[in-house]
Amino acid sequence: MDIFGKIKEKLTNEFIDIIEWLDYTDDTIAHRFERYQNEIKNGAKLIVREGQTAVFVNEGQLADVFTPGTYDLTTQNLPILTTLKGWKYGFNSPFKAEVYFVNTHLFTDEKWGTKSPITLSDDRFGLVEIRAFGTYAFKISDPGKFIVDIVGTDSNFTNFEINEHLKSLIATRFTDTVGEANLPIELYAANTSELSETCQEVMNAEFLSVGISLEKFYIENVSMPEDLKKEIFEYSRIDKLDLDKLTKFKTAKAIEAAAKNEGGTAGAGMGMGMGFVLAQQMGGMMAGSSQANTQMGNQQQTGAFPPPMPTAVQYFYAVNGTQQGPVSFEQLQALFAGRTINRDSLVWKQGMAAWTALKEVDELKSFLGGSTPPPLPTA
């Protein structure tokens, strides 16, 4: 071999082009294979390992996608790029293209959570707030779409960069899903598995639109304020008790809560209101006993019987779609103070044409507060 042959062989060996990516990290999703001016020699070897996909991009256009294997880069192996370049009879000189390696393994144990409380409407407890958090797992299902829609020209794209977008998407869709579920508030924490499956099904379509597959989605915990938890526990314990016991229980709890709030006028007003209700009930019992004794004495003296006592107004009310009652005005007031019913709860009494919201019944509007006393008389 002459001197020129040796030089040619040396140059040929130096130009053997091997395109591969050895990933030693756990967080890189896409990596751009760096080459001076993106030049790739004709006949170069492309090595794509298991858990990888190679994506060729030419002047911003998606070209060829290679799954795991070893390839000699020729016009036969680059049909789309050959079409884009207009090579009809093959090529011998170096060609330009960007090569992105995409990590297609499963990214697990990614965290998500609601940054702000989610406000829900419950038939028994009114507006309530809950929070939730958990984990999810994803993988790249369409590397070409992912490179074009998400990565762009980023040379080293990590899961940290995509996680913020994914977590925002999850929080938004989770809020929509739990709002549409319309479950009793205590069932959200008790049905996390079913809710997780529903959320995954709803979210996966949006993940797939950018080339990502949501493989797993878990709700680890649904939390709510401690005072709401206590009310739910109390409600579950007394749900099967009779109405009289329920009323007394709620009244006692309201007085206890008001007594603890020594510095607040609202607490003092609530305590006075509950005390007034109890005083009315006790006073009514005592007055009824005294009046009965007087009537008996009068009957013995005159031999005449008085007219019957007027009956107190009895109210019926609805809780969770179920009719409850009848109860007296004072008992209804105690139920409102204890949050068993609210301003929008339906009530009915003798003489009313239909069930009506509590806030629309004139004699019950005093429950809502906001009344102003008349001015004091001047001296």
* Residues 323 and 341 sit within 8 Å (Cβ to Cβ): no
C-alpha distances in Å from residue 166, one per residue of 179, 220, 301: 20, 18, 88
User: What's the rounded Cα separation, in Å, for the pair 46 and 67?
Assistant: 11
Cα-atom radius of gyration of the chain, to the nearest Å? 38
* Better-predicted residue by pLDDT, 64 or 294: 64
User: What's the rounded Cα separation, in Å, for the pair 315 and 143?
Assistant: 66
As a whole number, the mean pLDDT across the chain is 77
C-alpha distances in Å from residue 342, one per residue of 29, 238, 355: 52, 18, 15
Kindly state the percentage of the chain with pLDDT values over 70.
71
Residue 8 has what pLDDT?
46
* Residues 195 and 220 sit within 8 Å (Cβ to Cβ): no
Q: How crowded is residue 144: how many other Cβ atoms within 10 Å of its Cβ? A: 19
Which two three-digit tokens encode residue 322?
């179920």
Band of the pLDDT at 91, cuts 50, 70, 90?
Answer: low
pLDDT digits (tens, 9 = 90+) for 118-154: 888 887 778 888 889 999 999 999 999 999 888 887 8
C-alpha distances in Å from residue 351, one per residue of 135, 143, 251, 333, 337: 57, 71, 28, 20, 25
Instruction: Please provide the CATH number assigned to the domain covering 107-225.
Output: 3.30.479.30
Query: Domain limits of the chain?
Result: 11-103, 107-225, 241-283+312-368
* Residues 337 and 254 sit within 8 Å (Cβ to Cβ): yes
User: What's the rounded Cα separation, in Å, for the pair 141 and 148?
Assistant: 13
| Max Cα-Cα span within the chain | 150
Top-ranked range on mean pLDDT: pick from 93-107, 224-238, 290-304: 93-107
pLDDT digits (tens, 9 = 90+) for 211-254: 999 999 999 888 887 887 777 767 666 555 555 666 677 777 77
Residue 128 has what pLDDT?
83
pLDDT digits (tens, 9 = 90+) for 321-360: 889 888 999 888 888 888 889 989 999 998 898 999 998 9
* Site of tokens 């603890």: 260
C-alpha distances in Å from residue 311, one per residue of 103, 140, 307, 308, 350: 80, 74, 12, 9, 12
Residue 279 Ramachandran class (φ > 0 left, ψ -120 to 50 alpha, else beta):
alpha
Identify the H or E element spanning 310: none
